[in-house]
Amino acid sequence: MLTEDQIKHFHTEGYLFLPETFSAAEVAILREEAENVYRQERPEVWREKSGAPRTAFAAHLYNEGFGLLGKHPRMIQPVEQIFGEQVYMHQYKVNAKASFTGDVWQWHQDYGTWARDDGMPEPRAMNIAVFLDEVMPINGPLMLVPRSHTQGVLAAGHDVTTTSYPLWTLDEDTVTRLVDQGGIVAPTGKPGGLLMFHGNLVHGSAGNITPYPRKIVYLTLNAVSNYIRKPTRKEWIAHTDFAPIVPTAPDALLNYASRFKQAAE
Give residue 107's domain range: 4-264
Give pLDDT, residue 149. Answer: 97
Q: What is the CATH number of the domain that holds 83?
A: 2.60.120.620
Write down the pTM of the prediction. Answer: 0.93
Q: How far apart are CA 53 and CA 49, in angstroms?
A: 9
Give pLDDT, residue 162. Answer: 66
Give pLDDT, residue 102. Answer: 84
- The parts of the chain modelled with pLDDT lower than 70 are 160-166, 260-265
Give pLDDT, residue 265. Answer: 59
- At 161-203, the pLDDT tens digits run 666 566 788 999 999 999 999 999 999 999 999 999 999 999 9
Give pLDDT, residue 200. Answer: 97
Give pLDDT, residue 164. Answer: 59
Number of domains in the chain: 1
Give pLDDT, residue 188. Answer: 98
Any bridge partners for residue 47, and if so which?
Answer: 53
